[in-house]
Amino acid sequence: MATTYTTTDARPPDSRTEALRALLNRRYRFLDRKWDIVFWATAVFVVAAAADITKLLFAGDWDFWTDWKDRQWWPIITPFAVIIIPSALQYIQWLAWRMPTGATYTALCLAVASWIGRIVQWDWFAGFPLNFVWPVSIIAAAIWLDWVLLKTKSMVLTSLIGGFGFALILWFANYITLAPFLQPMEWMGLPMTVADVQGIEYVRAQTPEYLRMIEHGSLRTFLGETQYVSLAFGGTLAVAGYWIGQAIARGLAIWPIGRYIKKF
Amino acid sequence: MAQTVSSPPRLRERDQGPAHRPGRGPTDWLGGWRTMFVACGLLLASFLALRVYQQFYAWYNEAGLNAASPDFKKYWFSLFVILVLLAGAISVAWWGWLVITGRKLIDKPVSRNEEVRRIAVFWGLVAATSLTLYFMASFFPNQDGVWHQTLVRDTALTPSHIVMFFWAFPLGITMTVGTYLYGRYRLPAVYGPEKGFPWSFFFLIAASITEMMQVAMNEWGHSLWITEEIFAAPFHWPFVTYGWLASGIFALWAETAGRLLQLEEQEAEKATVEASAA
Amino acid sequence: MRRILSRLFVVPAIALAVLLLAPAPSANAHGETAQEAFLRMGTVSFWDVKFSATEVEQGEQLKVTGTAKILETWPEQLGEPELGFIGVVAPGPVVIIKERKINGAPAPHAIEVHKGGVYNFEITIAGRRPGRWHVHPIFGIHGAGSLLGPGQYIEVKESGKAFTNPVKLASGQVVDLEKVGMGDVAFWAVVWLVVGLVWLLYWIVPKRTVARLPVTSQIPLNTDGMEYGLITKRDHKAMNVIMAVTLVLLAGGWIYQARAYPEKMPQQVLRFEPEPVAMTPSFVQAKATEVRYDDATHTVTMIVDVKNTGTRPATLQGFTTTTLTFPTAGVAEPVDGRSMTVSPSPTVAPGQATKLTLTISDHVWREERLIPIGESRMQITGVLRFKDDAGAENFVTVQSFITSLSA
């Protein structure tokens, strides 16, 4: 670890560079690895909290049930909701530690929190089968976001390239697990998907079917292209969501550092 | 920083911290970090115990299904009263203790060891706040979601609300305000009164307080206006703001890490002086 | 201080322990009694609700049948009823719905409804989770929420074998609806967790974190700090590998799903307006003119102007409101021990116009919070059931403000 700063630049480093290199490897008396462990381990909770509440309250219904994971609304609402906190953490961790980890870290926290929620509350408490209430995984999309930041070193480029790709990868990764639920079957002689039948059979009295915001068809659904226009729009919304995350990180996490309200 | 001196002759043992005991130093797990384990352990135990209680008495034995029933009063309304009073009592007791003892400590010189220990305790309290935020914003909201999407809405005092709104949410205020009071009196170099009120804590405390206010709006809306349960309804969106305001917690880590680095500088200067003297 | 704190925890802990040791309670409501009485009474009425069994094994089926009517008195503040959904409410999916017919037609999803609409429902449910569960039919109306019909305890007995819910796919394959697709979901959840953890641990285990702050705080945002050793070429290479693995996994997963599940279609929306129910021509008119409530005797007294416009004698069979039915004493058997008295006589001759006094003394008015005392509209609504001597039935909605209250 101590010698990983070597660079191919043949020019001799100036004194400031030398000083910063030395500073990176400086040994401290109090600042041991325990501070790192505590930071990474205890930030899990607040990051999971922020990411999950943002997902639950912006896109919760689409995340709760397979019969809501449709091709019109799910691909636009979910990426917008789930990119906000990864974007914020990406800024914080890149700025503070220069690590391209914020999005992946958030995605892991969210995955654990979501699964605890679904297992402990939706399954153990309410008795819904997990294959009806599984949450989306945003980890693959988050890795993409972190990788784009590492390569571009730019929040603007990451928002544009990373944000758009985030929405696409999110859908690709989760469509793989949604596929078995889109298989056709019959229910009382009517064709529908396995997901629809789950929605009918597993009693959820206060979420009547008419609340389900999914594709109903429209006179302007041209050439059956619902999926593609939704993905494209989802990508652009993710870019917008990315900047909400940036505003949170810059305005609420970083800006307040060392600032005080002098009179209150 | 005026309070910090490198070799204060008049420091009492308690101000020096327990650094002299092996394994109880400022950055030892059983030293400075002990508060983190104790605080997180107590909070976790309370949340999990209440979750177990919900499993038995909320749904499957039906005691929590009807707020107009005598069983509800026995199993849930009583718990609601206990939790609200307990949260209030814990807050007053802890905040009071922090202020009363803090006033005696704030002007006393403090060793670097002790200040580092206090920063570790502070990070422990931040950890406990973070844990509370998780139960407020993810663990119990998941239950509230499945409760409302499955059962007919029934007053503001459903079993899922009682635990979330009236235990986890108030504890959010207890923890954020308490952590500030700890910083104000015990880490004056960072949060001392002469600096003003830190924006970081303003956002973090605002997070937990707006959450409580949003409870009131939520119940008004569901009682008199919104009848159905779409979790992603715009009406619920204000709850998100507190997840965002909680970002202020990162500023706390940064501010105290900055102070830690200052102390390291002082430590290094002292070592240089000692080396040149030798 | 510690002593105070320990007391703070011990007292509630003891209180909780006492509560936990108390015998298990029972209840048969799902929160509907907390709703305002005049709304519950004035929105939807249920009658002839029957459960074909009260005890089933896991997987065994029973039928819930009955009639629900969106009353003409539907309150204006709830908006016009347009979409509805008839189902059941229970403490979660302890039962599953296997079939649903409304007015004889399969109705998997929501239906288009209107004020005054009458809906005969037939819901086949099957036991899923062992236990004794209170199950109600429920009518959700978009914008208003869910309204409950009369409930019944259903005992679901353990079948002795693990519960499965086999369904047949269009491909002919039979799958268990409880588990289908879960293997894929769990597999990919673990795969992504592992890949994500590898990415994260690569950074946070070998490298220090907080100690980087003195350096990062001195350099611009748009640099990876390679010259200071913050991010190295090796880091870049390692991340390229993980990114490539992620893309390969995505491609592999995509190919897998396309081959494993070649037939797919979007979720379906199957809504329709049920055919109207054939109703008996009207042979009786009724209008409530006065309702009094006496709290001391828990008695509701309703004066109703009745006119028999038919050619046969018509008899008032009973009064139905919310989840309750009060059959006329001497005419029909009491339901759950409930009945009402009608004077001077429940039978009205053809062509006769008369004033009937309906008297219902029952604690249930208070227990179910059905007397709208303290509400913004003190109104009683319900449905009168008349039958002529040939067996034809009329259901007439009556509504009146409470005209006298001795509470």
For residues C158 and C11, the model is more confident at: C158
Nearest to C98 by CA among C148, C133, C63, C134: C63
Question: CB B196 to CB A263 under 8 A?
Answer: yes
Any residues with CB less than 8 A from the CB of C57 and at least 6 apart, and which?
A: C127, C156, C157, C158, C159
pLDDT digits (tens, 9 = 90+) for A56-70: 999 999 999 999 999
d(CA C203, CA A99): 7
**Tokens describing residue B177:** 């305000």
* Distance of alpha carbon B26 from alpha carbon B115, whole angstroms: 8
Shortest CA gap B93–chain A (Å): 25
Question: Measured between CB atoms, does A28 come within 8 Å of chain C?
Answer: yes
Mean pLDDT of chain C: 92
Q: Give me the pLDDT at residue C183, please.
A: 98
Tell me which residue in B56, B66, B153 faces C33 most closely, judged by beta carbons: B66
| Binary contact (A259, B195; C-beta < 8 A) | no
Residue B49 lies in a domain: yes
Q: Do C27 and B261 touch (CB under 8 A)?
A: no
Band (pLDDT 50/70/90 cuts) for residue C141 is very high
Lowest-confidence region among A146-150, A153-157, B2-6: B2-6
Out of A5, A101, A147, name the one closest to residue C228 (CB).
A5
Residues of A in contact with B236 (CB under 8 A): 57
B chain contacts of residue A133, beta-carbon cutoff 8 Å:
146
CB B264 within 8 A of CB A28: yes
Q: What CATH number does residue B65 fall under? A: 1.20.1050.50
Kindly report which listed range (B116-120, B241-245, C259-263) carries the lowest average pLDDT score.
Answer: B241-245
- Asked whether residue B128 is assigned to any structural domain, the reply reads yes
Query: Does residue B120 sit at the C interface (CB-CB below 8 Å)?
Result: no
| Pick from A108, A130, A176: CB nearest C257 | A176
User: A–B: how many Cβ contacts below 8 A?
Assistant: 225
Amino acid letter at B111? S
- Alpha-carbon distances, residue C114 vs A251, C14, C49, C73, C332 (angstroms): 51, 54, 21, 12, 31
User: What is the rounded CA–CA span in Å between residue A84 and residue B163?
Assistant: 28
Q: How far is A239 from chain B (nearest CA, A)?
A: 18
pLDDT higher for C394 or B151? C394
Q: Is residue B207 part of a domain?
A: no
Residue B223 half-sphere exposure toward CB, CA atoms < 13 A? 11
**What is the full DSSP assignment across C263-302?**
---PPP---BPPPPP--PPP-EEEEEEEEEEETTTTEEEE
- Measured between CA atoms, how close is B250 to chain A, in angstroms? 5
Determine how β-strand C152-157 pairs with β-strand C55-57.
Answer: parallel
| C37 Cβ contact partners less than 8 Å away, ≥ 6 residues apart | C369, C370, C371, C372, C375
Q: What number of residues does chain C have?
A: 407
A262 Cα to chain C: minimum distance (Å): 25
pLDDT of residue A264: 59
Q: In C, which residues are within 8 Å of A194 by CB distance?
A: 167, 169, 175, 177, 180-181
Task: Provide mean pLDDT across the span B103-115.
Answer: 94
Are C172 and A184 in contact by the 8 Å Cβ rule? The answer is no
pLDDT for residue C10 is more than 80: no
What residue ranges define each of the domains in chain A, with the CATH number in brackets? 36-260 (1.20.1450.10)
Model pLDDT for residues B23-49, shown as the tens digit of each residue? 899 999 999 999 999 999 999 999 999
Do the domain assignments include residue B210?
no
More confident residue, B210 or B224: B210
Round to whole Å and give the CA distance between A161 and A149. 10
CB within 8 A of B26, min separation 6: which ones? A30, B17, B19, B32, B113, B114, B116, B117, B120
Confidence category of residue A217, pLDDT binned at 50, 70, 90: confident
CB contact under 8 A, C227 and A5: yes
Instruction: Give the pLDDT score at B226.
Output: 74
For a pLDDT cut of 90, what percent of chain C falls above it?
Answer: 82
Structure confidence at residue C6 (pLDDT):
55
- B69 interfacial to chain C (CB closer than 8 Å): yes
**How many CA atoms lie within 13 Å of A33's alpha carbon, on the beta-carbon side?**
5
| Of the partner residues A13, A127, A195, the one whose CB lies closest to the CB of residue C92 | A127
Please check the confidence at residue B10 and state whether its pLDDT lies above 70.
no
Q: How confident is the model at residue C11 (pLDDT cuts 50, 70, 90)?
A: low
**Range with lowest mean pLDDT among A218-232, C85-99, C113-127:** A218-232
Query: How confident is residue B177, by pLDDT bands cut at 50, 70 and 90?
Result: very high
> Which of A39, A203, A204 lies nearest to residue C95, judging by beta carbons?
A203
Q: B139 contacts in A (CB within 8 Å)?
A: 113, 116-117, 120-121
pTM: 0.92
Tell me what pLDDT residue B183 has: 98
Nearest CA in chain A to C85: A208
Q: B2 in a domain, yes or no?
A: no
pLDDT in tens, C301-317: 999 999 999 999 999 99
pLDDT for res C9: 54
Residue from A23, A183, A212 to probe the interface with C (highest C Cβ count within 10 Å): A183
CA dist C361 and C201 (Å) reads: 72
pLDDT band at C2 (very low <50, low <70, confident <90, very high): low
pLDDT above 90 covers a percentage of chain B that reads 69
Closest Cα in chain A, distance from residue B160 (Å): 11
CB pairs < 8 Å spanning B and C: 110
Spatial CB neighbours of C314, under 8 Å, sequence gap ≥ 6: C283, C284, C308, C347, C348, C350, C386, C387, C388, C394
Contact (CB<8Å) A34/B148: no
Q: Report the SS3 class of residue A231.
A: helix
Residues of chain A positioned with their CB less than 8 A from the CB of C180: 131, 180-181, 194
Chains that touch B (3 or more CB pairs under 8 A): A, C
Closest approach of chain C CAs to the CA of B123, in angstroms? 13
* pLDDT value for C46: 96
Give me the residue from C165, C211, C243 closest to A147, CB to CB. Answer: C243
The verdict on a CB contact (< 8 Å) between A205 and C90 is: yes
Nearest in space to C252 (alpha carbons), one of C187, C163, C172: C187
Neighbours of C15 (CB within 10 A): 15
Closest Cα in chain C to B158 = C31
**Banded model confidence at residue C25, pLDDT cuts 50, 70, 90:** very low
Closest by Cα among C102, C85, C66, C61 to C138: C85
Q: In this complex, is the C-beta atom of B233 within 8 Å of any C-beta atom belonging to chain C?
A: no
Is position B137 within any domain? yes
Name, in order, each residue with C-beta under 8 angstroms of C61's C-beta and a sequence gap of 6 or more: C98, C124, C125, C126
Query: Which residues of chain C approach chain B closer than 8 Å at the C-beta?
Result: 1, 4-5, 8, 12, 15-16, 19-20, 22, 24-35, 78, 89, 91-93, 131, 134, 138, 140, 142-146, 148, 210, 213-214, 369
Residue A5 has pLDDT above 50, yes or no: no
The nearest alpha carbon in chain C to A13 belongs to: C227
CA distance B9 to chain C (A): 30
CB within 8 Å: B244 and A248: yes
- What pLDDT was estimated at residue B23? 86
pLDDT of residue C15: 54
Whole-Å CA distances, B183 to B124, B178, B262: 12, 9, 16
Structure token pair of residue C378 = 């003190």
The tally of domains found in chain B comes to: 1
Per the prediction, chain A carries an average pLDDT of 94
Q: Which residues of chain B does A22 touch, with a Cβ-Cβ cutoff of 8 Å?
A: none
Between C200 and A226, name the one with better pLDDT: C200
Q: What is the pLDDT of residue C264?
A: 97
Interface test with B, best of C2, C21, C32 (most B CBs within 10 A): C32
Q: Which two tokens mark C287?
A: 């209008």
Residue B221, in any domain of the structure: no
Q: Is 60 exceeded by the pLDDT of residue B12?
A: no
Residue A221 has pLDDT above 90, yes or no: no
* Record: contact C213-B56, CB cut-off 8 A: no
How many Cβ atoms sit within 10 Å of the Cβ of residue B12? 8
Q: How confident is the model at residue A206 (pLDDT cuts 50, 70, 90)?
A: confident
Q: Say which residues have a Cβ less than 8 Å from residue C395's Cβ, sequence separation at least 6.
A: C45, C47, C69, C383, C384, C385, C386
Average pLDDT over every residue of C202-224: 96
Judge contact between B190 and B199, C-beta under 8 A.
Answer: no
Segment B103-114 mean pLDDT? 94
Taking 70 as the threshold, does the pLDDT of residue C252 lie above it?
yes
Q: Which one of B86, B152, B262 makes the best mutation probe of the C interface by having the most chain C beta carbons within 10 Å?
A: B152
C322: left (phi over 0), alpha (psi -120 to 50) or beta: left
pLDDT reading at A104 higher than 50: yes
Q: Would you state the pLDDT for residue C27?
A: 46
pLDDT at A20: 96
Residues A210, C214: C-beta atoms closer than 8 Å: no
pLDDT at B4 (0 to 100)? 43
What are the tens digits of pLDDT across the range B125-140? 999 999 999 999 999 9
Strand partners, C66: C121
The shortest CB-CB distance from C224 to any of A153, A169, A175 is to A153
| CA distance, residue B31 to nearest chain C CA (Å) | 18
Is B115 domain-assigned?
yes
The whole-angstrom separation of Cα B86 and Cα C14 is 13
Per-residue model confidence (pLDDT) at position C310: 96
Tell me the residue range of the domain where B154 lies: 33-198
Give the pLDDT of residue B2.
41
- Distance between CA atoms of residues A116 and A122, nearest Å: 9
3-state secondary structure chain B: CCCECCCCCCCCHHHHCHHHCCCCCCCCCCCCCHHHHHHHHHHHHHHHHHHHHHHHHHHCCCCCCCCCCHHHHHHHHHHHHHHHHHHHHHHHHHHHHHHHHHHHHCCCCECHHHHHHHHHHHHHHHHHHHHHHHHHHHHHHHHHHHHHHHCCCCCCCCHHHHHHHHHHHHHHHHHHHHHHHHHHHHCHHHHCHHHCEEHHHHHHHHHHHHHHHHHHHHHHHHHHCCCCCCCCCHHHCHHHHHHHHCCHHHHHHHHHHHHHHHHHHHHHHHHHHHHHHC
Which two tokens mark B186? 């015990």
- Range from A102-106, B228-232, C225-229 carrying the lowest mean pLDDT: B228-232
Verify whether the Cβ–Cβ distance B251 to A34 is below 8 Å: no
Alpha carbon of B6: minimum distance to chain C alpha carbons (Å)? 22
Question: Does A169 reach chain C within 8 Å, measured CB to CB?
Answer: yes
| Nearest residue of B to residue A88, measured between CA atoms | B247
d(CA C271, CA B229): 20
Is there a contact between A125 and B55 if contact means CB atoms under 8 Å apart?
Answer: yes
